[in-house]
Structure 1
Amino acid sequence: MPHAEFPLQGHPANEIRIERLPRKELGRLSELNFEIFREKRIINHKTHPFLVILAAFAGDIPVGFKIGYGRKEGEFYSAKGGVLPGFRRRKLADTMMKQMLEIAREARYEVFTYDTFPNMNPGMLIMGFSYGFRVTYAGYNARYNDYQITLSLKLKDLPASKLLK
């Protein structure tokens, strides 16, 4: 499967780009995942029928990623994503979120959901609210010693300003 490339606005395509990777290349993100999250586990299960892997590259070096999948009837779940500290504040996470929202919508998912841990990464909570996501669950997660907030958005309610196209 050829890679789909999505150059970032304001950056030359050969400087930083986002690619959709095939499932077999998930392992390319192992070191990046460990660098960002300090854990070996990327996602719990790699066998989801509709798995989307987006990776941001500076040259040939992965600097960010976002992984999601169809979880249940009509729901797409963004499971994990992150960007190396030196590449943050370049709209990489925002661009990958937009791309994943479009992929989920084109695949006819009705709801897009993700979990975030606000003390570990408050930016994901703020970004979700800017897209119109609503809190659908909040509880304490002892594993991460943080609150776990689930955010959901009906894709029909996605503002046009939050699309790449």
Structure 2
Amino acid sequence: MEVKYAVYRSITPEDVLSTIYAIYDEIFEDIDLFSEKLKEKKELLLVSAHVGSEVIGFKLGYQLNEEIFYSWLGGVSPAYRQAGIGQELMTIQHENLQELGYSCIQTKTMNKWRSMLILNIKNGFDIVDTYRKDNGEHRIVLEKKL
């Protein structure tokens, strides 16, 4: 299996949706809410993984300010997990963010996404905060200096 990666630096919300729609829907399911939230974001950066013409994984984020980038969403299709694709997506994202001049990357996760929590910690992220949303879900805030 040959996995190829692509980086999109100035991508519109519509382009993001057309690129990752199927994989997002497979992992997270609530595409309408995602589509609405996506329209609010500025300075999007998308890294995608492909096998042939199929998108099998992605890492998407946006600028919080000139120094901090927020790594918002990412995932790998269940059929392609445990092959190092999530790690490579993160590596490519971080390399691009350094080139763009960011000094810090922030992300949030939940206990139910343990594989993402572990991947972040293995890659130098520190847990800097936790909180509960109104619906009771516990969130973990992580940051990494680039």
TM-score range (shorter-chain normalised) is 0.7 to 0.9
Aligned to 1:72, the other structure's residue is in SS state coil
Indicate which of 105, 121, 135 corresponds to 1:112.
Answer: 105
Q: Is 2:14 aligned against 1:18?
A: no
Cα-to-partner distance string for 1:4-33 (whole Å, 9 max, x where unaligned) = xxxxxxx6xxx2111113514312211211
Q: Is 2:102 aligned against 1:98?
A: no
Amino acid in structure 1 at the alignment position of 2:142: L
- The equivalent residue for 1:129 is 121
**How far is 1:48 from its partner?**
4.2
- Normalised by the size of structure 1, how large is the TM-score? 0.77
User: How many pairs align?
Assistant: 140
**How far is 1:89 from its partner?**
0.4
Q: Is 2:144 aligned against 1:153?
A: yes
Work out the CA distance in 1 between the residues paired with 2:36 and 2:51.
23
More helix by share: 2
Amino acid in structure 2 at the alignment position of 1:52: L
Alignment of 1:22-37 (within 5 A): 23-24=11-12, 25-26=15-16, 27-37=18-28
Indicate which of 52, 69, 76 corresponds to 2:69.
Answer: 76
Amino acid in structure 1 at the alignment position of 2:20: L
Q: Is 2:38 aligned against 1:38?
A: no
- Normalised by the size of structure 2, how large is the TM-score? 0.86
**How far is 1:139 from its partner?**
1.3
Does the C-alpha gap of structure 1 residues 43 and 53 become closer, same or farther in structure 2, counting only changes over 3 Å? Answer: farther
Cα-to-partner distance string for 1:28-74 (whole Å, 9 max, x where unaligned) = 21121111101101572346442111111111011111101211131
Structure 1 segments, 4+ long, off by >3 Å, are 45-49
Alignment RMSD, CA only? 1.9
Amino acid in structure 1 at the alignment position of 2:114: P
Q: Which stretches in structure 1 are left out of the alignment for 5+ residues? A: 1-10, 156-165
- Using CA pairs below 8 Å that are at least 6 residues apart, which structure has the higher relative contact order? 2
